[in-house]
Amino acid sequence: MVMHFEHRGGEKLFCDFAGDTVPIWDDHTGEVNFAAQLFVAVMGASSYTFAKAFANQKAESWTAGGTAAFEYMGAVPMCVVPDNPKAVVTQAIQVRPGIQRELPGVGQAL
C-alpha cells in the first residue's frame, strides 16, 4: 500500500536521524572508531536531500544538522517537520509533547 502526499515547493523540510549508523574507520589501525549517526533532511516537494554524519544524536548535533541543511539548500522552508527526535522531544505524547527547552529558538515566536 502506498500513500501519496502533495507538497508545495519550499513548504516543508522533513528531518530526522536515519535508523542505520555509518562506520567511521581509523586510517592507521583499520578498525572502526565509532558508528556515526546520520542526520537527514529532505524537502517535501522536490525530494532535495541533505545528509551529514555526527558522533551522537544529542541536541547540539540536531541543531548543527538543521543549520547545515539550511545552509546547503540556501533557503529556509516554511516549516520543519521532525519525526520525534530524542534530542528534541522528551515525551512523545500526541496531544502535548514534551520539548527540550535548552535548544536555541525553541518555544520562541517567529
Q: What is the pLDDT along the chain (110 residues), one digit of tens a residue?
A: 788 788 888 899 999 999 889 898 999 999 998 899 999 999 998 989 999 999 999 889 999 999 999 999 998 999 998 887 777 766 666 666 565 656 555 544 44
Residue 58 host element (H or E) = none
23 located within any domain: yes
Task: Give 37: exposed, middle or buried? Use CB within 10 Å, 0-12, 13-18, 19+.
Answer: buried
58 located within any domain: yes
110 located within any domain: no
pTM: 0.74
Task: Report how many domains make up the chain.
Answer: 1
Domain that holds residue 69: 12-87
6 located within any domain: no
Q: Contact 39/17 with Cβ under 8 angstroms?
A: yes
> CA 66, CA 13: separation in Å to the nearest integer?
10
C-alpha cell at 25: 574507520
70 located within any domain: yes
108 located within any domain: no
